[in-house]
Amino acid sequence: MENATSDLFFAGIDIGSTMSKAVIMDAEGVVRAYVVGPSGAEHRRRANKLMEDVLQKANLTLDDIAYIISTGYGRVNVPFADKQVTELTCHARGVASLFPDVRTAIDIGGQDAKVLKIRNGKLIDFLTNDKCAAGTGRFLEFAAETLGLDLNEMGHISLQTDMPVKINSPCTIFVQQEIISHLSEGTPLPDILAGVYIAITTRVVKLARQLKVDPPVVFTGGVAKNVGMVKAMETVLGMPVLVPQEPLITGALGAAILARDQAFQMVQKGEYVIHRDKKLGEAIIDYGGKNSR
Amino acid sequence: MSGYFLGIDIGSVGSKAVIIDDHRIVASVVVPSGTNYATTAANLKADILKRAGLQTGDIRASAVTGTGGRNVGIEGYHGVIICDARGVNITFPTAKTIIDIGGQGSQIITINEAGQVIDFNASEICATGSARLLQLVARILQVSMDDIGPLSLKAAKPSSFSTSCSVFLETEVITRISQGDKPADILAGIHWSIAEKISAISRGVTLKEDIVIIGGGALDMGLVKSIEEKLGMEALVPDNPRIIAALGAAAIARQ
């Protein structure tokens, strides 16, 4: 069987600590479909379901996919992947494909934060925080839980003020108490929320400054979807930040691009790339969890 | 100066009051700090006077300390570090190092024979470096705070944890339970996590014996044992480790 590269498709799948993402790309490098869903406790089942969903969305089958790269915290749990690549590499690649001039990428995920120094599209240095929930999406979840608000809603409410309160606690566990005490003192909700965003951002920017923050700065990860966080990031950094249209999928996008590169190299060497001996497996059964789209 | 002296410590979690005379502790009280520190301080003062069978006029001098001790209507604020140092010095005159494990963080203080502070290092507000993590884990395991220490000493194979953040530890504790780890082993593992955090705070400070552990965390003998193992030194614990800063404040008032 001949491989006409123009007919090939590639996939990147990113199993994060909180959210999982999958991207399918065609030979031209155009994203054909993507899906995002919670990772849940069973990564393997989630990976299978996610792949099934993204294939369906792209109107393709697994046999159409020439090469699959998995990435993220749960990348080992993607049985049908051809290769695993670290999230830092994938992430840098994904961000640079969207913003070729990027020099600093800040990614805040559900349970970690990363700062990447990128030059000419290449990752040259990075720092991560996965030791402390402050400075990650978890901090926001705690705040939202305390206030009984939706994360999205929280962002919009925070924009109503220019007077954020000072949140003293860098610790996620204690921030609840602090929010409650501000509420009991009658501090307006927007001021509290804006203060929460400044607190988490300050924590991440402290990490970023260790690498020196050079513009342009791209802000990604689930937390970058929050308008309050973007404003806080710009305030604390003192410079504008760029946010991709879909800030969650940059890792999966980078993985798909790397999958495409890899497949093209193989084709050049005269190797077959479509040799799907891997199946999505019986774990595709949906146990009634939430729909991933 | 002879007579009675009052020390009050408004902490992040608990507030304490101590009355001393020229030689000894006359009365002590520990209550939750609540949300209105000024009210807490006033109630605490009334409560301890009643227990000691004294009137306001019997108190020759008083002093206040603690995170919430400023602006609570009591004159004479002194920092916690100084009060810890004084309180430990009069309890254990041989003490050179103090580890204070409080409700929101820990601090390590080194002192001389006179109870003067030589050096100190405080953690930032962090649940893992405080007694708060124990509360979180006790709640998950449905063990009372008083039982944590004795239970943890029965650990056969302490659980190991991959994170040092209390938020992530909570999740990991649940994972360990589902994997069949025994509560005693989980607690011993958590003690080790806190001991590591405290050891990290002590970096850069020269620890000398005798070491004294105070604060709410010192009530947990399992935690004390883990810290001793981590530091490779034995530690002294006062009978009532929570009141030491208040005792120090009272002693400062007596001067």
Name every chain A residue with its beta carbon within 8 A of the beta carbon of B67: none
Q: A133 and B168: CB-CB below 8 Å?
A: yes
How far is B133 from B141, CA to CA, in rounded Å? 12
Token duo for residue B122: 């405080």
Strands (E), chain A: 9-15, 19-26, 31-38, 65-71, 83-84, 104-108, 113-119, 122-129, 217-220, 241-242
The domain made up of A5-90+249-284 has a fold known as Nucleotidyltransferase; domain 5 (3.30.420)
Distance from CA of B115 to the nearest CA of A (A): 31
Element (H, E) at A120: none
- State the architecture of A102-242 in CATH terms: 2-Layer Sandwich (3.30)
Q: B166 and A173: CB-CB below 8 Å?
A: yes
Report the number of distinct structural domains present in chain B. 2
Residues B81 and B104 occupy one common structural domain = no
Distance from CA of A232 to the nearest CA of B (A): 22
How far is B147 from B154, CA to CA, in rounded Å? 11
Between chain A and chain B, the number of residue pairs with CB atoms below 8 A apart is 43
Do the interacting molecules here have an ipTM over 0.85? no
Domain coverage including residue B69: 1-92+242-255
Residues B115 and B229 occupy one common structural domain = yes
3 state SS of A33: strand
Residues B45 and B113 occupy one common structural domain = no
Give yes or no for residue A2 having a pLDDT over 70.
Answer: no
Distance from CA of A175 to the nearest CA of B (A): 10
Alpha helices by DSSP H, A104-226: 137-147, 151-158, 172-184, 189-209
Token duo for residue B98: 């103090």
CATH of the domain at B48: 3.30.420.40
Instruction: List, for residues A154-184, the tens digit of each pLDDT value.
Output: 999 999 999 999 998 889 998 888 898 898 8
- Reported as a pLDDT band with limits 50, 70 and 90, residue B227 is very high
Residues B129 and B246 occupy one common structural domain = no
How far is B115 from B97, CA to CA, in rounded Å? 10
How many C-beta atoms surround the C-beta of residue A209 within 10 A? 12
Element (H, E) at B20: strand B14-20
Name every chain A residue with its beta carbon within 8 A of the beta carbon of B167: 133, 138, 142, 172-173
Mean pLDDT to the nearest integer, B39-68: 94
Percentage of chain B modeled with pLDDT above 70: 99
**Burial zone of B200 (CB within 10 Å; 0-12 exposed, 13-18 middle, 19+ buried):** middle
